[in-house]
Amino acid sequence: MADFGDFTNADSDPTADFLAREQAILGADAALFGNPLETSPANKQWETPTDDLLFGDTPAQQPVFEPAPSLVQTAQAPVDFGTVQQPVDFTAQNDFQQDAVQQSVFQSIPEPVQEVQSQARLDWQVEFDRKVVERDEMAKDKHGRILNEAKEALDRFYAEYNEKKQKAIARNKELEKNLIAQRDDNTSGTVWERVLKQVEGSQKKQDKKDDKKKEKVVKADTSRFKQVLVSLKNDKDAPGIKV
């Protein structure tokens, strides 16, 4: 055991030596990090000699563990925070400023395309309205012209109808007059006079038919028969004259 040196140095503390070396290396910056191991009493209570841990020596008395204060007790302890000012709500101000900035940006942007489109639309609307008015006027004029033409045609039809009607009435009256006169002529006079009229009338009709055929037809000589009829007509004592 003499070759390994003296292992019973109770004053040697590896943790303290390590922290001392680190503090020496850091220098002035060591204060920024602090040494939580030195300030905590719980760590000092749990410190044990290195020789006892290496060689299995059991300490005569175990250290007593004191629990750290709970978080609930720490939270319930009164803390003086001093005078706290009411926080300022910057949300509304930021929104208002943002809206103002956006509005100013949109107002600063020119809109030549929309203006051109709007002007073109206005021109189109004016032209469309003009065409609609012109079309309505043309349709109205055409409708009036058609009505006038129809009215004139109707008046002309009734005028022609009335004229034809009057002509037909006059012609029928004249024909009726002639028929009545012919009837009276045929029924008037003596028997021989009426017979003579019938013979003469039939002879005239036969002559007209022969003229239309343009052919020479051999006619019977009725002159002697007519002379007999004429003599009977003139004879007051002829039979049939006196009823």
- Alpha-carbon distances, residue 52 vs 10, 13, 17, 239 (angstroms): 9, 12, 18, 203
- 175 CB-side CA count, 13 A: 6
Domains: count for the chain: 3
As a whole number of angstroms, the distance between CA 152 and CA 13 comes to 138
- Alpha-carbon distances, residue 241 vs 194, 200, 234 (angstroms): 11, 20, 10
Same domain, 184 and 194: no
Q: Is residue 98 included in any domain, yes or no? A: no
Q: Is residue 84 included in any domain, yes or no? A: no
Q: Is residue 231 included in any domain, yes or no? A: yes
- Residue 66: which residues within 8 A CB-CB, separation 6 or more? 41, 42, 45
Q: Which residue range forms the structural domain that includes residue 41?
A: 1-75
* Residue 210 CA from chain centroid, whole number: 86
pLDDT tens for the chain, residues 1 to 243: 445 555 445 556 788 888 888 878 876 665 665 554 444 444 444 444 444 444 444 444 454 445 555 444 444 445 455 544 545 454 545 555 566 656 665 555 555 555 556 888 899 999 999 999 999 999 999 999 999 999 999 999 999 999 999 999 999 999 999 999 888 877 777 778 888 888 877 777 666 665 555 555 556 677 788 788 888 877 777 776 665
Same domain, 194 and 172: no
Residue identified by tokens 């005569």 is: 60
For residue 214, what pLDDT is reported? 55
Q: Is residue 125 included in any domain, yes or no? A: yes
Same domain, 137 and 202: no
Same domain, 126 and 168: yes
Same domain, 10 and 61: yes
Same domain, 123 and 176: yes
Q: Is residue 198 included in any domain, yes or no? A: yes
For residue 114, what pLDDT is reported? 52
- Helical segments of the chain, H only: 14-26, 30-33, 36-39, 41-45, 50-55, 71-76, 90-108, 112-187, 191-213, 223-234
* Residue 39 CA from chain centroid, whole number: 85
As a whole number of angstroms, the distance between CA 162 and CA 166 comes to 6
For residue 136, what pLDDT is reported? 96
Two tokens at 131? 């065409």
Amino acid at site 99: D
Same domain, 180 and 131: yes
Same domain, 177 and 193: no
Same domain, 11 and 23: yes
Same domain, 181 and 241: no
Q: Is residue 154 included in any domain, yes or no? A: yes
As a whole number of angstroms, the distance between CA 239 and CA 243 comes to 9
Same domain, 199 and 163: no
Torsional class of 119: left (φ above 0), alpha (ψ -120 to 50), beta (otherwise):
alpha
Q: Is residue 47 included in any domain, yes or no? A: yes
Name the nearest CA neighbour of 36 among 21, 15, 50, 53.
15
Q: Is residue 126 included in any domain, yes or no? A: yes
